[in-house]
Structure 1
Amino acid sequence: MQAAVRTGTALPVLALTVNAFIWGVSWWPFRQFQALGMHPLWTTAAVYALVLAALTAWQRGVWAGLARTPSLWLLVLASGTTNAAFNWGVTVGDVVRVVLLFYLMPLWALLLARLILGERLTPMAALRMVLALAGAAVVLWPAGGGWPWPRNLPEALGVLGGLTFALNNVWLRREAHRSDAERATAMFLGGTLVSAVVAGSLTWHGAVAVPPLPSAGTALALLALSTAFIGANLGLQYGAARLRANVTAVVMLTEIVFAAVSAAALGAGTLDARLLLGGSLIVAAALLSVWQPGAAGH
């Protein structure tokens, strides 16, 4: 029986690990596109436009469902802001710090679930909040003293991305009765629309360069990255549908490991004692969010 269970869970766990790996190392292709003159916001818009086109070809009726469901447009905004903030932050900042601040998401999810879904705050939830805030304070504490606030754009983007990702997840639970295709369309549309609007505005004001016309090689690379994100999404759906929510959440935390190791190895992030301490507190808060009795969500 135990062997059967292990066999039955191996593929879902592998699928979730692939998802975490793709997101954990996604900073690298975005930096390569930036080196070619494409701001990460323009890259995000292009990649998600390709994903959206593939989804539309596969599910032709999804646009009608999205058009008649106004509540899904908050999902468009939340998902779009999440992707824009995360991809921008890990491209221009210290990858490890941005990813750790992004994973304050369980803290924001607690507060938003209370506000939107009416979920009560328990003593265990209070402990998780304290751990997450303590971890954030350690990560953000300035070397020269002062308040532990985000001190630069990448850190602010990491916090914003985690906040909107929490809103994205809470709103997905609120809209759980909608079809998977409608919710996926809203999320991919957000990834395209928000990034394109922000990038266009920054380009108009001269803060971001006009993206160059893609060469054949760049176009193929964008297509490959889009395919990877489609694979990551399919891996998440496959794994999450076959594993308990607490197992899913724990496996997904490996994204932090993939990001930290790849960034440290390639010189895109630093690991010191303070960052390890703060990161440990943030991860502990995330783990407590899935090891509580009766946990049913991620």
Structure 2
Amino acid sequence: MREFLNPAAVLFLASVLWGSAWIPLNAIENAGISHSLLLLLAYSVASVLTAVILWRQWHRVLAHWQQNKALLAGIFLVGGLANASFSLALLEGNVVRVMVLFYLLPVWSTLLGRLFLHETVSAGKALMIMLALLGVVLVAGIQPGSDWQAALLKTPWGTGDTLGLIAGFTYAANNILFRKGQLVALVLKAESMLLGAAFFMLLSWLWQTDTQNSDQLLQVSENAVLLAMLYGATWLLAVSFGSQWGVSHLPASRSSLIIIMELVTAVLTAWWLGEAQLSLWGWLGCVCIMSAALLDSMNAGVSPDVKIWAPASGQFR
């Protein structure tokens, strides 16, 4: 089946789902559950379901783990922090502002891809990255004839902003680790990432219970718990595997541009649901970002294949 899957298309769809993830997350939170507990449950369920897949070939998994301890530990830490930071940022801060800060990602990905994977940065790639960053700037409110400083500083810097910035850099680093470990099964790398996110969310939840009213944090709705687990078993699992499979099959600079669809989706959904307002320049920024992603997807080829899990045979290949 993988022969019929286009990595760019899979990554595009996963990015759209990531960009709209704030909608179910906010709905579940409003059902009566804290940020940290919601995400702890979601990532725990996703990692458990992934472990079930791995269990069928535990001896092979053990061999892969023993041969790639350092890489998987790096994905556990960097990938886990990236996912935890990004999800928390969507709940803590302004969706559009968080996504704009996150989308310094093309800069990080290109620099890290050049530094660690020795990927070339052609004039075409540089032009597309500039177009994408121009779009980010316009969406951020830095527009001709506007008081862009007031637009950026209207909302004081907050936790969500810091988390968005951290998520962008660590996600770019995680993409590099995924591609550097092309001989390691994708499902094992994804499990390391999901476990890492669950670990960081556990730390966040423990910190919250220690510094805030623990009784209030523990008073959660039964429906909210079930919804959080359902989100982890469906939406989160799908976007985690979809995005990482796509990233593993594409050059870092190209994947970073396609992933910008997360920003476009977040802006459009936030505007549609009344969470954000866009000027004409803001809409032009979205067009710039989408154009960069589409232009890039038409130019680059697919990278060498990576090992994946074949459910039908229960084998790595």
- The answer to whether 1:40 aligns with 2:20 is no
- The answer to whether 1:273 aligns with 2:280 is yes
Q: 1:22 to 1:145 in 2, by over 3 A?
A: closer
Instruction: Tell which deviates more after alignment, 118-127 or 163-172.
Output: 118-127
Of 11, 20, 41, which aligns to 1:25?
Answer: 20
CA distance in 2, matches of 1:209, 1:114: 49
TM-score computed with the length of structure 2 as normaliser: 0.72
Per-residue deviation, 1:74: 1.4
TM-score computed with the length of structure 1 as normaliser: 0.76
Equivalences for 1:165-184 in 2 at 5 Å?
165-184=171-190
Which secondary structure state, in structure 2, belongs to the residue aligned with residue 31 of structure 1? Answer: helix
Instruction: Tell which deviates more after alignment, 287-296 or 94-103.
Output: 287-296
- The answer to whether 1:117 aligns with 2:141 is no
CA distance in 2, matches of 1:191, 1:38: 18
Is the CA contact 2:84–2:197 (under 8 Å) kept in the aligned structure 1? yes
Equivalences for 1:1-298 in 2 at 5 Å?
13=9, 19-36=14-31, 38-60=33-55, 61=58, 62=61, 65-66=64-65, 69-138=69-138, 139=140, 141=142, 143=147, 145=149, 152-153=157-158, 154-206=160-212, 211-228=217-234, 229-233=236-240, 235=242, 254-292=261-299, 296=303
Instruction: Tell which deviates more after alignment, 252-261 or 144-153.
Output: 144-153
Is the CA contact 1:78–1:165 (under 8 Å) kept in the aligned structure 2? yes
Q: 1:250 to 1:165 in 2, by over 3 A?
A: closer
Is the CA contact 1:44–1:87 (under 8 Å) kept in the aligned structure 2? yes
Per-residue deviation, 1:216: 3.2
Cα displacement string for residues 44-83 of structure 1 (whole angstroms, at most 9, x for unaligned residues): 2221111111111221224674466122211112222222
Per-residue deviation, 1:272: 2.2
Q: State the AA in 1 paired with 2:270.
A: A
Is the CA contact 1:55–1:185 (under 8 Å) kept in the aligned structure 2? yes
Q: 1:174 to 1:100 in 2, by over 3 A?
A: same
Which secondary structure state, in structure 1, belongs to the residue aligned with residue 70 of structure 2? Answer: coil
Instruction: Tell which deviates more after alignment, 118-127 or 147-156.
Output: 147-156
Per-residue deviation, 1:172: 0.5
Q: State the AA in 1 paired with 2:127.
A: L
Q: State the AA in 1 paired with 2:18.
A: W
CA distance in 1, matches of 2:213, 2:110: 36
Per-residue deviation, 1:251: 7.0
CA distance in 2, matches of 1:209, 1:105: 38
Per-residue deviation, 1:89: 2.0
Per-residue deviation, 1:37: 5.0
Q: Where does the alignment leave 5 or more consecutive residues of structure 1 unmatched?
A: 1-7
Q: State the AA in 1 paired with 2:279.
A: D
CA distance in 1, matches of 2:177, 2:249: 22
- Aligned pairs, how many? 289
Q: State the AA in 1 paired with 2:86.
A: F
Q: Where does the alignment leave 5 or more consecutive residues of structure 2 unmatched?
A: 305-317
Is the CA contact 2:264–2:289 (under 8 Å) kept in the aligned structure 1? no
Per-residue deviation, 1:245: 10
Is the CA contact 1:41–1:87 (under 8 Å) kept in the aligned structure 2? no
RMSD of aligned alpha carbons: 4.0
Identity across the alignment (%):
25
CA distance in 1, matches of 2:254, 2:71: 29
Q: 1:96 to 1:209 in 2, by over 3 A?
A: farther
Per-residue deviation, 1:240: 8.0
Instruction: Tell which deviates more after alignment, 251-260 or 48-57.
Output: 251-260
Q: State the AA in 1 paired with 2:283.
A: L
Aligned to 1:3: none
CA distance in 1, matches of 2:84, 2:244: 22
CA distance in 1, matches of 2:299, 2:237: 31
Per-residue deviation, 1:96: 2.8
Q: 1:136 to 1:24 in 2, by over 3 A?
A: closer
Q: State the AA in 1 paired with 2:147.
A: A
Is the CA contact 1:24–1:257 (under 8 Å) kept in the aligned structure 2? yes
Q: 1:219 to 1:274 in 2, by over 3 A?
A: same
Q: State the AA in 1 paired with 2:169.
A: L
